[in-house]
Structure 1
Amino acid sequence: MTNQHYGQFCGLARAAEIVGQRWTLLILRDLSVGPQRYSDLVSGLPGIPTNTLASRLKELEEEGIVERLAPSSGERAVVYRLTPRGEELGPAMDALSRWGAGGMRTPRDGEIVTTASIAAALKVAAGDGIVPEDWDAAYTVRVGEVETHLIMRDGVITVGPGAAEAPDLVITAGPQIRDLLAGELDADTAIATGAVKLEGDASLFARFADTLHVPYSPNVPA
C-alpha cells in the first residue's frame, strides 16, 4: 500500500492502512453489491479521479481483497469482485454504515444517492436479515433515479441493484425515507404526507417499514 505504516503491530492499525485511504471504503461498498466493471465503478463513484480508482484497485488486489475476472463470452471488459477475504469486511462496513447513518438526517448540498449507496443502506436497515418463513414479498425501491430491490422470502431478506423482477410493491421515496427507517415517520404518515408513493400491494408497506430500521444516534441535532 502507498500510505504510511502506523508502526504498530495492531489489527486496527493494519486495517486502517489498507482501507483507510480516501475512496477505498466506497469502492469496497460498491463491490459488495456485486461484481463491477471499471466503467461501472467510475459511474457509481462520481467525482473519483480515474487514476485514484486504478491505484486503489491495484492496491486492493495486492492485498488479496479484490480480484479481476477475465471477460466472459461476449464481454470485453474485465470485472472486479471481492475475494473471500474482501467479503470478510462486510460486517465491519455494515457497522460503519449504520454508525454514519445515525448522524444523517438530510442530504448536504451536492450529495447524491447511488445504486450502491441505497442498496447498502437497505442491507444495513435489514439487520440480521431474518424474517418469518411464510413471508414472500418483492419490493422495488426507487429513490431519485436509483432503483434497488429487496426480497423477503424463505426466511431471509436479500437486497440488490435494479428493480425486482416481479415486484409486489414499488416504493418511490425521497430524502424522507431516512425518517421512515429511523422510526420517526410511521408507515401511515409516510403515505398520507406523500413522503412515499406506492404502486402495487400497499398492505405490504407496513411490513417494510416495521422490518427495516436504522435509528438516529442520540445527541445528533435535529
Structure 2
Amino acid sequence: MKLEKVTEGTTKRRYDDACGTALALEFLGERWSMLVLRELMFGPRRFGAIKANLPGISANVLTQRLEAMEAAGILIRRKLAHPANVPVYELTRWGYEAEPIVQVMGRWAARSRRHDPFAFMSTASAMQSLLALVDRAGLADWRATIGFRFPDDGFLLRIAEGDMTIARVEEPVADTVFSGDTMAMRRTIYGKQGLDAEGLLGLRGDPEVARRFVDLFRLPEKIA
C-alpha cells in the first residue's frame, strides 16, 4: 500500500500526528460533537430533536457541528419520504461504526467520582448507558424483548445469542414494556428502587422478564 502525505483538506488540521486517535479528535474533539454523534446512534433525527436533547447548545453551534461532521463523512442530511417530507440528519455507515467509542468512553468516565448519575440524560444517552453497562454474561442463554416507552420516544431491545441490540420504534411491542422518563429509568435500573411507584418506571408485561432485565445492570465502582 502506497502511503501519501495529506497536505490539503476541507478543514485545517490541528495535529501534526499520524496516529488515528489524533485524527479522531479532529473529527469529534470539538465541544458537543461526541454528543451529537450519540444522539444519532439510534437513527435519523430532526435538528430540533437533536437540540432539545443537548441542553446548553445554541442553534448556531449545532449547525456548525453538523456541517463539520457532514464534511468529514460522519453523517448526511436528507429528507424523509412522504408524508413527513422533513429534513433529518443521519449517520453514515462509517459514522455508526463509532458506537463502541461512545460506550467505552461512557463506561470509563462513569467510574469517576465526578460522574453525576442524576444529571440530565437524553433518551439516546439512557439507551447507550444500557449498552455500555449491561452484564454480558447475564445475556447468555436468554431470548427476550424489552420495550421502553418514554414521553416522547420509544425503543425496542432484543436479547438473543448473548447479545443485546436496541432500535428506536414508534410503539414498542415486547415481552415487557417499561414506561416513564429517564430519571425513573435510572432509579429503577441503576438505583434498584423498584417498579410501579411514583418516580419509578411503570411496567406492562411479564414481571419476571423485567426483574431479570433490571438485574443485568450495575453502575461501575468509582476509582479510589
Range into which the TM-score falls when normalised by the shorter chain? 0.7 to 0.9
* Deviations 1:150-178, CA, capped at 9 Å, x for gaps: 42344342224465234524255746836
Deviation at 1:106, TM superposition (A): 4.1
User: Is 122-131 or 204-213 further displaced after alignment?
Assistant: 122-131
Q: Please point out which of 53, 60, 77 is paired with 1:68.
A: 77
Distance in 1 between the 2:221 and 2:152 partners? 23
Percent identity over the alignment is 25
Deviation at 1:130, TM superposition (A): 8.3
Task: Please tell me whether residue 158 in structure 1 is matched to residue 162 in structure 2.
Answer: no
Matches within 5 A, 1:195-206: 196-200=200-204, 201-206=206-211
Runs of 4+ in 1 over 4 A off after TM superposition: 1-4, 127-130, 145-148
| Structure 2 length-normalised TM | 0.75
Task: Please tell me whether residue 21 in structure 1 is matched to residue 21 in structure 2.
Answer: no
Matches within 5 A, 1:27-106: 27-103=36-112, 104-106=115-117
- 8 Å CA contact 2:156–2:174 kept in 1: the answer is no
Distance in 2 between the 1:71 and 1:179 partners? 35
Task: Please tell me whether residue 149 in structure 1 is matched to residue 158 in structure 2.
Answer: no
- 8 Å CA contact 2:51–2:59 kept in 1: the answer is yes
CA-based RMSD: 3.2
| Unpaired runs of at least 5, structure 1 | none
* Deviations 1:93-148, CA, capped at 9 Å, x for gaps: 111111122233443xxx42212221221222236598345522323265xx5654
- 8 Å CA contact 1:169–1:202 kept in 2: the answer is no
User: Is 93-102 or 22-31 further displaced after alignment?
Assistant: 93-102
Indicate how the Cα distance of structure 1 residues 191 and 131 shifts in structure 2: closer, same or farther if over 3 A, else same.
same
Indicate how the Cα distance of structure 1 residues 81 and 125 shifts in structure 2: closer, same or farther if over 3 A, else same.
same
Deviation at 1:35, TM superposition (A): 0.8
SS of residue matched to 2:131: helix
Question: How many correspondences in the alignment?
Answer: 208
Distance in 1 between the 2:184 and 2:108 partners? 18
User: Is 117-126 or 161-170 further displaced after alignment?
Assistant: 161-170
Amino acid paired to 1:12:
T
Task: Please tell me whether residue 122 in structure 1 is matched to residue 126 in structure 2.
Answer: no
SS of residue matched to 2:194: helix
Distance in 2 between the 1:139 and 1:44 partners? 20
Deviation at 1:4, TM superposition (A): 5.7
